[in-house]
Amino acid sequence: HEVVTVPVEAPSSAPPRTEALAELRDGQVESVCAGCSPPYDADNSAPLAFRGLPISELKNHSILRALTAEADGWEPGVVSAEVLRAQEEWEAVDNIQPETGSQASSDQPGQLISFSEALQHFQTVDLSSFKKRIQPTIRRTGLAALRHCLFGPPKLHQGLREERDLVLTIAQCGLDSQDPVHGRVLQTIYKKLTGSRFDCALHGDHWEDLGFQGANPATDLRGAGFLALLHLLYLVMDSKTLLMAQEIFRLSRHHIQQFPFCLMSINITRIAIQALREECLSRECNRQQKVIPVVNSFYAATFLRLAHIWRTQQKTISDSGFVLKDLEVLAKKSPRRLLKTLEIYLARVSKGQASFLGAQKCSGPQAPHSKDLTFTGVCDLLPHSSEGTWLI
């Protein structure tokens, strides 16, 4: 039989392969013959013309458009959801920008932030409007003032008062979601407590899993301000206190003894603020000639004491207000005792020994955070008649 070859013209709508294949990145390849396929790598069969080409540039070249365009302009009648999602991801490629340097900027939300870096931020920004609101010490009158003068703790040294005022000023600052440093503090706390390597949204239900009352952590900082987040940051960014934070966090998720971890921490910060203003920490601050490290250690020691009471005395969420009330009295009365307990705990951790919290492991499954939990903080209890009113 005789074979007859009939020449067929390509539709005019099809893009010319010669021109399309001739357009390669930065003019590195000047021409490609018509009808020839682009050269391939022997190892992975990838076109050599595309090797080293950034993904964000591929979609801008007519090479792919020429190779993928239909000759007659046909389009599928039904597009699946998977195809639509893939198209959206492909269109979003232009928004991905490569790093210009060897390291990401320190203001990138994905980078962890240390306590000292966050503190330095507050030391350099203008906080004058917040400083006007602070009351460094408790105002006492009559017999209370006389009793405090005769039998109370010593006054804070003059050279330490500026540092004390900085602590109280930070406690007046709220959470600003537009400030990259504030965002990095939140992200660091989240990653350290959960072990996640990825960023999370600054608003969302995941914050309730950490023990905030709602999806926005800023709403829980009343009375403690950003100092509450700095204390959490201090707790998770030191290798020794991180183990303690994770241990207390596990206790907070106990199926019976669960409590909101971050909300409890905020109440501990409130106790630390009150102890500082009532000059309960002045003796220790004068001895160490520092304020911020003493306040941080006092916060950690008080949190450790609360966790020990909670675990050993089988406390539940219904006991929270009374536990915090008794704890505040103890902390103000014997701050040095609490600090000594923390020193012993950290020494045991550094030697790899189990703490008294770890010696009695929380049995039973972990409970997810429940929105129905009723938490009573130090601000929610009515003060006894023999004591002053709450100032936070």
Tally of CB atoms within 10 A around 269: 25
Contact in structure between 230 and 168 (CB atoms under 8 Å)? no
Structure tokens at 93: 């490629």
> Is the confidence at residue 249, as pLDDT, over 90?
yes
69 confidence band (pLDDT: 50, 70, 90): low
Quick one: which of 243, 238, 305, 313 has its CA closest to 271?
Answer: 305
Residues 6+ apart with CB under 8 A from 299: 231, 234, 235, 268, 269, 272
Amino acid 89: pLDDT: 59
Lowest mean pLDDT, pick from 54-68, 154-168, 308-322: 54-68
Q: How many residues are there in the chain?
A: 392
Contact in structure between 167 and 269 (CB atoms under 8 Å)? no
> Is the confidence at residue 80, as pLDDT, over 70?
no
Lowest mean pLDDT, pick from 152-156, 206-210, 333-337, 359-363: 359-363
Distance between CA 20 and CA 31 in Å, rounded?
A: 10
- Mean pLDDT across 62-90: 56
Choose between 209 and 20: higher pLDDT.
209
Lowest mean pLDDT, pick from 59-63, 189-193, 260-264: 59-63
Amino acid 137: pLDDT: 83
Amino acid 102: pLDDT: 34
Tally of CB atoms within 10 A around 3: 4
181 confidence band (pLDDT: 50, 70, 90): very high
Distance between CA 256 and CA 129 in Å, rounded?
A: 44
Cβ-defined contacts of 352-359 (< 8 Å, 24+): 355/244, 355/247, 356/308, 357/244, 357/247, 357/248, 357/251, 357/307, 357/308, 357/311, 358/247
Distance between CA 133 and CA 115 in Å, rounded?
A: 24
- pTM above the 0.75 mark? no
> Is the confidence at residue 161, as pLDDT, over 90?
yes
> Is the confidence at residue 274, as pLDDT, over 90?
yes
Q: What is the per-residue pLDDT across 358-379, written as a single tens digit (0 to 9) for each? A: 544 444 445 555 444 454 554 4
Among 11-25, 45-59, 107-121, 219-233, the range of highest mean pLDDT? 219-233
Amino acid 290: pLDDT: 96
Question: What angle (nearest 5°) sits at the alpha carbon of residue 140, between those of residues 137 and 141?
Answer: 155
Structure tokens at 134: 């602070």
With tokens 């009113």, the residue in question is 389
Q: What is the per-residue pLDDT across 82-135, written as a single tens digit (0 to 9) for each? A: 666 666 555 544 433 333 333 333 444 478 999 999 999 999 999 999 999 998
pLDDT over 70 percentage in the chain: 60
Please provide the average confidence, as pLDDT, over all residues in the chain: 76
153 confidence band (pLDDT: 50, 70, 90): confident
Residue 47: is it exposed, middle or buried by C-beta count within 10 angstroms (0-12/13-18/19+)? middle
Quick one: which of 318, 383, 285, 304 has its CA closest to 346?
Answer: 304
pLDDT over 90 percentage in the chain: 48
- Mean pLDDT across 135-155: 74
Q: What is the per-residue pLDDT across 4-42, written as a single tens digit (0 to 9) for each? A: 555 555 555 544 444 544 444 444 444 444 444 555 555
- Mean pLDDT across 239-253: 91
Amino acid 143: pLDDT: 75
341 confidence band (pLDDT: 50, 70, 90): very high
Amino acid 321: pLDDT: 92
DSSP structure string for 58-91:
HTTSHHHHHHHS-TT----S---HHHHHHHHHHH
